[in-house]
Amino acid sequence: MTRATLAEVLQPALAGRYAVAGLVTLGWEDMRAFVAAAEAEGCPVILQAGPSCRAHTPLPVLGAMFRHLAEAASVPVVAHLDHGYTAQECREAIDSGFTSVMFDGSRLPVAQNIAETAAIVAMAHAAGVSCEGEIGFVGYTDGETSAGTVPAEAARFAAETGIDAMAISCGNVHLQQNHEGGLDEARIRAIEALTGVPLVIHGGSGVPVAQRRALALGSNICKFNIGTELRMAFGAALRAAVGSDPARFDRVAILRETHDPMVAAARSVLRALKPV
């Protein structure tokens, strides 16, 4: 059994100067491929169930799927709730066997975000589960605009909540379909100077791979969330599988052909964050 908490994979990453990928899942096919990729690379992986995934599949089902994969894996696998917006949602994830929850209070005033995050950290830690929080809102492509994290607020947030990982806003944006973005490294260094908590980048698909690697090996960023580029890889593989034989209708046979391309795409992501 290799189910791990977020703290159990991020603290070694912080000490060893590398990062772990939080791979955003939407269903069985991609989560299975992500674990196979992590085993092939010999590194831990964080399976993430975000709002889109949870809208499609209930948390207790996702928890069972994650547990099944983790218990058979040869590498540490974290079962992570991504962007939990309420204490009730975080509690359901904990009760469903998740080993890590992320409470997103980034739209709230700082004091309220701290208070609500601290309460969820206490709940999670009492259950032996890790907790990630977010300070400084990370926006969306063609949607809400990011609000950069204020370093002093990040230091206060980390100190007063007891979080295991802290998501920050430093030029990152959710749902970017290219690597043309880039992170504000001066802001990252200013945050690092005030707190030693492992840092998390949401919207990692928009960060150039070279910058991901440089920061993974040379900063306190210990977790990059990657979703959009892997969903794009899945979509391309699915279109190819369907297009190869328009008469086919068996979805099991069709979906089977997405496995190898998804393993390859995930391995590329994981490889860029591994230690030297």
Tens-digit pLDDT profile for residues 188-207: 999 999 999 999 998 877 78
Q: Does residue 15 contact residue 38 with C-beta atoms inside 8 Å?
A: no
pTM of full prediction above 0.75: yes
Q: What is the dihedral of CA 151, 8, 204, 33, to 10 degrees?
A: -170
Q: 56 or 180: whose pLDDT is higher? A: 56
C-alpha separations of 23 from 86, 87, 186, 205, 223 in Å: 22, 23, 26, 10, 10
- Cβ-proximal residues to 235 (8 Å cutoff; 6+ apart), any chain: none
| Tokens found for residue 127 | 């259950």
Find the range with the poorest average confidence among 31-40, 101-110, 172-181.
172-181
Q: Domain 3-271: give its CATH code.
A: 3.20.20.70
Q: Would you say residue 172 has pLDDT above 60? A: yes
Find the range with the poorest average confidence among 65-79, 104-118, 165-179, 222-236.
165-179
Q: Residue 31 has what pLDDT?
A: 97
Annotated catalytic residue within 30, 82, 104, 164: 82
Q: Would you say residue 167 has pLDDT above 90? A: yes
C-alpha separations of 245 from 25, 239, 242 in Å: 27, 10, 6
Find the range with the poorest average confidence among 26-35, 121-130, 174-183.
174-183
User: What is the average pLDDT value for the chain, to the nearest integer?
Assistant: 92
C-alpha 191/C-alpha 238 separation (Å) is 41
Q: Residue 136 has what pLDDT?
A: 83
C-alpha 81/C-alpha 93 separation (Å) is 7
- Cβ-proximal residues to 140 (8 Å cutoff; 6+ apart), any chain: 173, 174, 175
C-alpha 221/C-alpha 273 separation (Å) is 10
3-state secondary structure of 121: helix
User: Among this protein's residues, is 184 annotated catalytic?
Assistant: no
**Angle (nearest 5°) at CA 35 between 215 and 272:** 20
Q: Residue 92 has what pLDDT?
A: 98
